[in-house]
C-alpha cells in the first residue's frame, strides 16, 4: 500500500483556536480521508507550537507557568479536532521530550555540516516590548530617541546569536524548485518563492538569548533556538527522528504539508534548506491554502468578528460547516463566510439536492418496495437510465483528477453536479406515476437513483464523514464496501451489471432525514 503522510501547520499556542485553524484542520482531514478511502496508508499529524517569547509573555500576564498555559491551549486544540471529526494520528507538541531530542539532532547535523556559526544579531530593541523592530517601523521621539510602534523607546542592541548559512542554499533551492515544479502548489505561491530566492538569501539568526522559553541550543544553553527551527522540525519528530529504525521512519519524506499562505517562506525556503543541510530529503509538496475572512474582513479580536469554530458548529451542525468551507472556498484562494452564505449552501445543496433525493427515493421504496433494494432486472434500461449510471461511474476518475491538484472544491462540485442530474432524472422519470402503470420500470428508476446516491455518498465521505455514514447506512451499504475500490466499474462502467452495484433485495432500514433544512 502506498504511504501518504500529511500534516497541518502547528498552531501557535498563544490563544484559542479560530476559524483559520478549523479550516486548515478540516481541509487536511478531508484530503487525508480521501487518500485513505482511495487505498493509501495514511499518516495524519498535527501539533502545537508552544515555545517563544509571546507564549512566555502571555503566560506571565495570566499568572501561570508557560507549561501550564500551553497545556491548557493544547487541550483546547485537541477538543477542536474532536469536535470537527478531524482527529489526527499524532499531535506533536514542541514541549515534548521526543521533540527536544529531534530538534537537537537536526541542529547537530546542520552544525556538523558546517552550516551553523556564532555571530552577532543587531537591531532596534525595545525592552518594554521585548522585541526587535525594523528601522521602517520606528518613529522619532523626544531627545533624539527612536520609538517602537507601542511608543516604547528602542535602543540599538547587539546580541550574540547562532546563524544558519542560508545564503549557501539559494542555488540548491532553485534547482530543487526547477526539478519539482509541484513542490509548492498553487503555482502562484511557488513563483513568489522563486522570485524571492533569486533576489538572494541572507544567513538566518537561529538562536535567542533574550528569553528562555525554548529548546536549548546543544552545547550553549544560554541560547534557545529560534522558534521556526524548532517548529518546522515537528514534522520529522512525528516520524521518530533521529531514530532511523522508528516504526514511522518510513513515512519521511512527507507527502504534503498543508499550510496557510502567510508561512510559505518558512516551509518552502527554510525547511528544505535545513533538511538539505542535515542530509535529509525535502517534503514532496507544500500545499498552500488561502485565508478565511468573516464576510471578507480579516478576523481579529479588535474588529470584533472572531467566531469560534465551536460556535459555528453549534449554529449549523458539523457537516454543513465542513461542507461549506470545502465547497465554497476555492482551495488555495482566500474565502469568506457569513450566516447567509452558509444557510444558502445548507438549504440548497444539502437539504434540497442530496437530502431530498435520498428522502424521496428511499421513502418511495419503503412504501412500494417492501423496504428492500429494488430489483432493476424486470425492465429493459432506457438510454437515460444508462446515461445516469455512466455519469455517476465517471465521478471517481474526475474526483481523483481534481484531488491530484488538491482542488477539493472542484471534486465536491463534480459530485454535486451528478446529484443535481439525478434529481432531474428522478423528476423526469416520475416514478410515483410508474407505481400505478409500470412497476418494473419504477423499480429500475428507483434502483438507478439510489445507486447514484451510493456513489455520491461514498465519494463525499471525506467531506461529510458523519452524514455520509448515515446515508450509506440508509442504503444498507456494508462497511467494507465504502472505500473507493467499491466505485471501480472498469469496462462495465454505465452498465447495470457492473461490479459493486447495490445488491437487489437487500433489506433497507426505515428512511430518515440526513440533512434538515435550516430554519431562521
* Site residues for ligand ME8 per CB under 6 A: 9-12, 20-21, 23-24, 49, 231-232, 234, 259-260, 262-263, 291-292, 299
- Cβ proximity to ligand ME8, 235 vs 518, nearer residue: 235
Which cell is 193 given?
A: 518563492
Closest approach, Cβ 234 to ligand ME8, in A, equals 6
Closest residue to ligand ME8, judged by C-beta, is 260
CA 410 – CA 172 distance, rounded (Å): 35
DSSP state, 186?
Answer: S
- Cβ proximity to ligand ME8, 232 vs 453, nearer residue: 232
CA 494 – CA 225 distance, rounded (Å): 59
Which SS3 state, helix, strand or coil, does residue 105 take?
helix
CA 35 – CA 403 distance, rounded (Å): 9
Closest approach, Cβ 374 to ligand ME8, in A, equals 45
DSSP per residue over 212-251, as a string? Answer: --SPEETTEEEEEE-HHHHHHTHHHHTTTTT-TTSTTGGG
- Cβ proximity to ligand ME8, 99 vs 454, nearer residue: 99
Backbone angles phi, psi at 297, to 5 degrees: -100, 150
372 CB burial (10 A radius; 0-12, 13-18, 19+): middle
Residue of 76, 450, 44, 400 lying closest to 257 (CA atoms)? 44
- Cβ proximity to ligand ME8, 263 vs 450, nearer residue: 263
Backbone angles phi, psi at 12, to 5 degrees: -65, 135
- Cβ proximity to ligand ME8, 20 vs 272, nearer residue: 20
- Cβ proximity to ligand ME8, 169 vs 271, nearer residue: 271
Closest approach, Cβ 45 to ligand ME8, in A, equals 11
CB neighbourhood size of 171 (10 A): 10
Find the Cα–Cα–Cα–Cα dihedral 361, 364, 370, 371, rounded to 10°.
30
- Cβ proximity to ligand ME8, 87 vs 146, nearer residue: 87
Which SS3 state, helix, strand or coil, does residue 402 take?
helix
Residue of 38, 131, 321, 99 lying closest to 230 (CA atoms)? 99
Closest approach, Cβ 23 to ligand ME8, in A, equals 5
CA 132 – CA 431 distance, rounded (Å): 72
422 CB burial (10 A radius; 0-12, 13-18, 19+): buried
Closest approach, Cβ 77 to ligand ME8, in A, equals 9
Closest approach, Cβ 326 to ligand ME8, in A, equals 13
Closest approach, Cβ 288 to ligand ME8, in A, equals 9
- Cβ proximity to ligand ME8, 232 vs 238, nearer residue: 232
Closest approach, Cβ 101 to ligand ME8, in A, equals 17
- Cβ proximity to ligand ME8, 23 vs 132, nearer residue: 23
Closest approach, Cβ 46 to ligand ME8, in A, equals 10
Amino acid at each position: 500500500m502506498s504511504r501518504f503522510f500529511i500534516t497541518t501547520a502547528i498552531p501557535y499556542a498563544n490563544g484559542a483556536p479560530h476559524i483559520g485553524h478549523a479550516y486548515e484542520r478540516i481541509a487536511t482531514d478531508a484530503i487525508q480521508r480521501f487518500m485513505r478511502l482511495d487505498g493509501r496508508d495514511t499518516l495524519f499529524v498535527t501539533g502545537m507550537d508552544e515555545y517563544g517569547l509571546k507564549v512566555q509573555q502571555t503566560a506571565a500576564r495570566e499568572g501561570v507557568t508557560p507549561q501550564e498555559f500551553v497545556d491548557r491551549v493544547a487541550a483546547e486544540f485537541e477538543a477542536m479536532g474532536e469536535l470537527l471529526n478531524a482527529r489526527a494520528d499524532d499531535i506533536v507538541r514542541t514541549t515534548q521530550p521526543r521533540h527536544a531530542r529531534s530538534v537537537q539532532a537536526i541542529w547537530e547535523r546542520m552544525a556538523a555540516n558546517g552550516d551553523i556559526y556564532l555571530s552577532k544579531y543587531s537591531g532596534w530593541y525595545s525592552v518594554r516590548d521585548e522585541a526587535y523592530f525594523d528601522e521602517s517601523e520606528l518613529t522619532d521621539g523626544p531627545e533624539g530617541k527612536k520609538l517602537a510602534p507601542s511608543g516604547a523607546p528602542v535602543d540599538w542592541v547587539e546580541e550574540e546569536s547562532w546563524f544558519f548559512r542560508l545564503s549557501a542554499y539559494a542555488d540548491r533551492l532553485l534547482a530543487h524548485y526547477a526539478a519539482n515544479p509541484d513542490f509548492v502548489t498553487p503555482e502562484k505561491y511557488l513563483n513568489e518563492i522563486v522570485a524571492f530566492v533569486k533576489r538572494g538569501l541572507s544567513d538566518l539568526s537561529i538562536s535567542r538569548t533574550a528569553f528562555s522559553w525554548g529548546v536549548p541550543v546543544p552545547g550553549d544553553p544560554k541560547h534557545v533556538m529560534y522558534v521556526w527551527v524548532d517548529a518546522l522540525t515537528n514534522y520529522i519528530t512525528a516520524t521518530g527522528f533521529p531514530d532511523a529504525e522508528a516504526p514511522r521512519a518510513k513515512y519521511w519524506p512527507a507527502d504534503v504539508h498543508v499550510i496557510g499562505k502567510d508561512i510559505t517562506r518558512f516551509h518552502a525556503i527554510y525547511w528544505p534548506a535545513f533538511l538539505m543541510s542535515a542530509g535529509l530529503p525535502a517534503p514532496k509538496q507544500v500545499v498552500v491554502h488561502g485565508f478565511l475572512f468573516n464576510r471578507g474582513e480579516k478576523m481579529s479580536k479588535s474588529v470584533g468578528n472572531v467566531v469560534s469554530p465551536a460556535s459555528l458548529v453549534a449554529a449549523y451542525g458539523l457537516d454543513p460547516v465542513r461542507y461549506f468551507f470545502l465547497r465554497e472556498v476555492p482551495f488555495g484562494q482566500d474565502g469568506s463566510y457569513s450566516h447567509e452564505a452558509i444557510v444558502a449552501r445548507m438549504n440548497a445543496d444539502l437539504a434540497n439536492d442530496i437530502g431530498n433525493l435520498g428522502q424521496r427515493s428511499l421513502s418511495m421504496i419503503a412504501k412500494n418496495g417492501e423496504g428492500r433494494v429494488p430489483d432493476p432486472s424486470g425492465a429493459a434500461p432506457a438510454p437515460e437510465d444508462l446515461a445516469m449510471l455512466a455519469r455517476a461511474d465517471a465521478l471517481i476518475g474526475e474526483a481523483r483528477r481534481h484531488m491530484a491538484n488538491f482542488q477539493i472544491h472542484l471534486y465536491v462540485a463534480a459530485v454535486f453536479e451528478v446529484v443535481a442530474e439525478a434529481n432531474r432524472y428522478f423528476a423526469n422519470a416520475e416514478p410515483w406515476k410508474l407505481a400505478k402503470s409500470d412497476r418494473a420500470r419504477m423499480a429500475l428508476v428507483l434502483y438507478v437513483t439510489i445507486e447514484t446516491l451510493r456513489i455520491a455518498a461514498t465519494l463525499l465521505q471525506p467531506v461529510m464523514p458523519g452524514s455520509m455514514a448515515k446515508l450509506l447506512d440508509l442504503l444498507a451499504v456494508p462497511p467494507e464496501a465504502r472505500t473507493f475500490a467499491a466505485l471501480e466499474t472498469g469496462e462495465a462502467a454505465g452498465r447495470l451489471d457492473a461490479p459493486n452495484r447495490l445488491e437487489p433485495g437487500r433489506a433497507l432500514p426505515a428512511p430518515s432525514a440526513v440533512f434538515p433544512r435550516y430554519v431562521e
